Structure 1
Amino acid sequence: MNAPSRLAALVLALGSATALAAPEVLLFPALGRPDSVTLQGRVLAEAPRGSTALSRNVRRLTTRNQKGARVEVSFLEASATVTSDEDGDFQVTFQSPPGRPFPAGAHQAQARVADNTPATARVEVLADAAPFLVVSDFDDTVAISEVTQPDKLVTNALLRDADTQKVVPGMASFYGCLGAGSGAVPGFALVSGSPIQFGPRVGSFLARHGFPAGFGLYLRDLGPSTLSGYKQPLIRSLLQRFPHPVVLVGDSGEKDPEVYAQIREEFPGRVRAIYIRDAGNTQDAARFKDMLLFKDASTAAEHAARVGLAPRECIATAFPPATPRAEQGTP
């Protein structure tokens, strides 16, 4: 049994006797275009609560989804009512009025079921002039999850939260420099195997550690059918919706190099660079053909400066050279 399978089995076992509270709507941060914005979310039958990270994580993963809920979704001056499907999921696309494109930048969307407090999420409308779109993994790319080590994976997934999960050093600074000073800001999309129920946790983690605001979250619906092959459809959909050049960032622990190589082949000329953090499983150099495999975020940042993806001034400020220690006895 692989690590995700073990984690799913443990979650089901731990969650079999949990007591749950009131309903909750999850609305995921999204990227939009001036002509259209697509919002996605899920309705949970009950809102999970807990006094520990373990209880909160398990209850969030095992809470029942609510089918057939009427969800009122609004964005700027537009609104729509949709019905959640059998998995509790809902989706709505808003088209901008003729001659009135959605303004580029940050906006807020809301989703409400009945008289409950509405869920809110940031929508980043990506300007047509944006320099590129960054598609990033989460686990072992920006957050230390240790997916290749089952025992440590369970610890990081269930016993930690947004405040206690460790960040990969330097990645927030690296992302902050990508596209800096280019006028229109780049877009950031996080496409990850983290379960969609962890959306609030992932968003809080990114904010806590200073990653650029405006990440769209595109997470995995945890289940046997999504143990592999779940990233490609999400990334394809993003590249079909957004015509911008793309920068792909992942890690070597599982299949990011293979997934990104496939995307590069399917979308010739679109991928500006592929950055792969060394998280193990690097014996086969062929996996990383025409990609930058790095251990330290500063290495990726220096490469980004060389190829024009980040201004050198930003990189120099974010990653200052280490000051040599004075030799013993030197005043």
Structure 2
Amino acid sequence: MNVPARIAALLLVLASATASAGPEVLLFPALGRPGGVTLHGRVLADTPHGSTALSRNLRRLASRNWKGARVEVSFLGVSATVTSGEDGDFQVTLPPPHVGPFPVGGHEAQARVPGASASARVEIVSDTAPFLVVSDFDDTVAISEVTKPDKLVTNALLRDADTQKVVPGMAGFYGCLGADSGAVPAFALVSGSPVQFGPRVSAFLSRHGFPAGFGLYLRDLGPDTLSGYKQPLIRSLLQRFPHPVVLVGDSGEKDPEVYAQIREEFPGRVRAIYIRDAGKSGDATRFQDMVLFKDASTAAEHAMGAGLARRTCVSTAFPASVPAAGTAVP
């Protein structure tokens, strides 16, 4: 039995054994603008439980979705009620209140259904933010070993936010991105990780010191999302946010090809593309006009030279890689 078949078999077993203490609402961290914010999430009919990482991960993946749930969503005094769809998913766009635009910065949104509620951070992005960072998760900031099926299963199912390994230096790299004036970018994580792992991904980013305020845009697992799932999400972000964009991914799967396509579709918008070498990097044509790096310090040094990262921050986070002031950066 191959790896996907083994996972499917385990999910079928656990689907009938999922412990329930009532429903659960997943409300995902999001990015918004002063003129409006789009919130999205999912309603599970059962709250997953488990005494081990394996049982918790499998039961979360196997949890039944609640179709037709009445979801009340609110943010900074504005609220709306929507009905969850076939997969328990919901999405709503909230305009600012009549008194004025949403204030820039991090704020809390809430979602409620009968028997459950959830909250999530919403980052209202200033129109003057220097750029938007769109990042992958697996093998870009977290070690998932997607190209090695058995190790992928171990990392996906036997680990959690506390035990999955972080890619060294990536939190420091992201934390240094921005302008020397102190202006910081907005961050969106667009990943093939399943939507059910949203709480795990958020906890991982927080545990390892990544910048607060990441919007999460994860994959709804299904036959229609085996490929081509990132482009629509990234297009939607670039259509909603007019800022320049920096794309960060890895070489293990299709990030270079996806990002090259986005760069072609949005001419002049992509400031830089950073690709972590996670294997399958022998074909240099995949990385044309991209920065392929093994160590995060290489990406940070390039970003500093390109005016995308703060020199003082990079010199503190990566002291061995920063040339003396006045020295040219290749």
Same-fold call, TM > 0.5? yes
- The alpha-carbon distance between structure 1 residues 15 and 182, as it changes in their structure 2 partners (threshold 3 A), is farther
Alignment partner, residue 97 of structure 1 = 97
Alignment partner, residue 131 of structure 2 = 132
SS in 2 for 1:151: helix
Verify the 8 A CA contact 1:6 1:150 in the aligned structure 2: no
Alignment partner, residue 275 of structure 1 = 274
Deviation at 1:6, TM superposition (A): 5.1
Alignment partner, residue 81 of structure 1 = 81
Alignment partner, residue 324 of structure 2 = none
Matches within 5 A, 1:5-84: 5=4, 9-21=8-20, 22-84=22-84
d(CA) in 1 for partners of 2:78, 2:54: 39
d(CA) in 1 for partners of 2:83, 2:293: 45
Verify the 8 A CA contact 1:127 1:184 in the aligned structure 2: no
SS in 1 for 2:140: coil
| CA RMSD in angstroms, aligned pairs only | 1.6
Deviation at 1:321, TM superposition (A): 1.4
Which residue identity lines up with residue 12 of structure 1 in the other structure? L
d(CA) in 2 for partners of 1:134, 1:236: 13
d(CA) in 2 for partners of 1:181, 1:76: 31
Query: 1:297-322 CA distances to partner (integer Å, 9 max, x unpaired)?
Result: 00000000000001111101001118
Matches within 5 A, 1:116-131: 116=116, 118-131=117-130
User: What is the TM-score of this pair, normalised by structure 1?
Assistant: 0.93
Query: 1:217-237 CA distances to partner (integer Å, 9 max, x unpaired)?
Result: 000001121110000000000
Verify the 8 A CA contact 1:25 1:111 in the aligned structure 2: yes
SS in 2 for 1:123: strand
- The alpha-carbon distance between structure 1 residues 2 and 108, as it changes in their structure 2 partners (threshold 3 A), is farther
Query: 1:97-123 CA distances to partner (integer Å, 9 max, x unpaired)?
Result: 35611000000000010243x200000
Verify the 8 A CA contact 2:23 2:115 in the aligned structure 1: no
User: What is the TM-score of this pair, normalised by structure 2?
Assistant: 0.94
Alignment partner, residue 106 of structure 2 = 106
Alignment partner, residue 329 of structure 1 = none
Query: 1:60-97 CA distances to partner (integer Å, 9 max, x unpaired)?
Result: 00000000000111000101111101110111111113
Percent sequence identity over aligned pairs: 77
Alignment partner, residue 141 of structure 2 = 142
Which residue identity lines up with residue 288 of structure 1 in the other structure? F
Query: 1:45-65 CA distances to partner (integer Å, 9 max, x unpaired)?
Result: 010010000000000000000
d(CA) in 2 for partners of 1:126, 1:10: 43
Verify the 8 A CA contact 1:132 1:247 in the aligned structure 2: yes
Alignment partner, residue 326 of structure 1 = none
d(CA) in 1 for partners of 2:219, 2:239: 19
Query: 1:215-264 CA distances to partner (integer Å, 9 max, x unpaired)?
Result: 00000001121110000000000000000000000000000000000000
- The alpha-carbon distance between structure 1 residues 7 and 148, as it changes in their structure 2 partners (threshold 3 A), is farther
Deviation at 1:181, TM superposition (A): 4.3
d(CA) in 2 for partners of 1:221, 1:182: 39
- The alpha-carbon distance between structure 1 residues 7 and 150, as it changes in their structure 2 partners (threshold 3 A), is farther
